[in-house]
Each structure stands twice: as structure tokens, then as C-alpha cells.
Amino acid sequence: MTPAFLDRLLAARGAKRPVAVLTRLPDGAQLLHPDDTLPEPLAAEAAAALRDDAARNVTLGAETWFIHPHNPPLRLIVVGAVHIAQALVPMALPLGFAVTVVDPRRAFATEERMGDRVTISTDWPDEAMTALAPDARTAVVTLTHDPKLDDPALEVALRSPAFYIGSLGSRRTHAKRVARLTEAGLTEAEIARIQAPVGLDIGAVTAPEIAVSILAQIVSSRRGGPKKKAPAAERHEASA
């Protein structure tokens, strides 16, 4: 890897842009996707490596390439240091998510409640979300069930490329949320990105089970699976 190529790679990673390094075997010639112009089949393989977050060898014609994806870290932003969050956070960590919990209520947002492997922000949710700048490798979950806290976070998240946005609450609660967000100027398409009631329908009842359903839906969204909502989240709207 030449110094100039390394500088390009480091600049992309510093900007949290997903890029793939393609190395031609055996001569070591290198290209950077999507910055460099690649033949369409090779570009498609590079895009697939980024999507799957897995390196691969590809032979196209007489050439063999090693494709190494460099994705930004997976992140989970949880708004609301509530008891569902207490179950959700430790489950998300082994899945490779860097977790940030946002809650301006300092009595809730503590290391004792959330653990020492989590970043805690006590900023107001819209300010915290703006500073965190959700990208295409970020999932956002709002759990406070308080419009004063959830809505400002959603207004920022829905205008971001976050790959998943979910909100706790019943269908009736969500209908009111939709009305508020519409009044705030968000489009129908933006609001439709919200997974609400949050979580896959696995019959979850307890807070840990709801956390599992939420993480299942996040993984499903990332991997392109089904996105059916979980009625259990409706039954526990008061639990936040």
C-alpha cells in the first residue's frame, strides 16, 4: 500500500465513509471503492463485501482480487435510560454495536444503571442526536414514551441515513406521534421509516424479551429480513 493510497483510505475512514480496498493478486495493484472507477462486476462485488461486512476473493476473467471492506463501526443510539434500555444495552454490545444512551434526566442516565461500556449523554435529545450524527451504520431507538424527549430525537434521526429507527408505543400513541411529526414538517416518507410498535412479533412480554425483539428487528433491518412489528411493545407502552 503506497503512502498516497494509505492517506486516501485513512481520510475515508476518518470521515466514516464505507470503502473497500481491492488488491489484485498477485501483483498487489490496489483500488478504492467507491472512489476509483471499477468495472461494473468488480464494483458490484465490492458493494456486496461492504453490505455483508466480510472480506472475499473474487475472480473475474483472468484477474483475482482480494476485497477488504472498511465500514464505520455499528452504532446503537438509545433515547431513554429506562428499564427496557437496561436490558437492551448489554445485549447489543456482543453484536458489535457501540452504544450511546441519551437521556437528560440525570437520575436515569447513570453508569450504575447502564453499565460502564456505554457512552451516556445527558444533552437534550435533539442536541445529542445532532452531535452524534447518525450514519448508515447507526440504529436509533426511542424508549422514553415522552414526546418532549422522543420527538426531538426523531426529528433529527429521520432526516439522517440511519438504517433503523424504532419507537416504543401503541398504534394509537404512534398515530399521535405521526401527527406531531407531520406538524413539525417531516414528510410522509420520512415518518414511514419509524418501526412502531417497535420490535419483531415474537410474543415478548418482559423487558428483556422486548429488548430481544428490538434487537432482532435491528438485525433483520440490517440484513434485509422481515420487519413485522411486535404487538408486545404496545402492551408495554406504560413500562417506559
* 131-187 pLDDT, tens digit each: 999 988 999 999 998 999 999 999 999 999 999 999 998 889 999 999 999 999 999
Say whether pLDDT at 2 is over 50: yes
User: pLDDT tens digit string along 99-126?
Assistant: 999 999 999 999 999 998 999 999 999 9
Distance separating the N- and C-terminal Cα atoms of the chain:
51
Check whether domain 75-239 has CATH 3.40.50.720, yes or no: yes
Q: DSSP assignment, residue 109?
A: S
Stronger pLDDT, 198 or 223, i.e. the higher one: 198
How deeply is 111 buried, as exposed, middle or buried, from its count of CB atoms within 10 A (0-12, 13-18, 19+)?
exposed
Q: Is the pLDDT of residue 92 over 50?
A: yes
Whole-number pLDDT of residue 121: 96
How sure is the predictor about 193, in pLDDT bands with cuts at 50, 70 and 90?
very high
What is the pLDDT of the chain when averaged over all its residues? 90
Q: How far is CA 174 from CA 10, 143, 178, in A?
A: 42, 13, 6
Per-residue confidence (pLDDT) for residue 225, from 0 to 100? 67
Residues of the chain with CATH 3.40.50.720: 75-239
Q: How far apart are CA 195 and CA 240, in angstroms?
A: 17
Tell me what the mean pLDDT of segment 213-226 comes to: 87
Distance between CA 211 and CA 227 in Å, rounded?
15
pLDDT score of 232: 46
The percentage of residues in the chain with a pLDDT greater than 90, rounded to a whole number, is 77
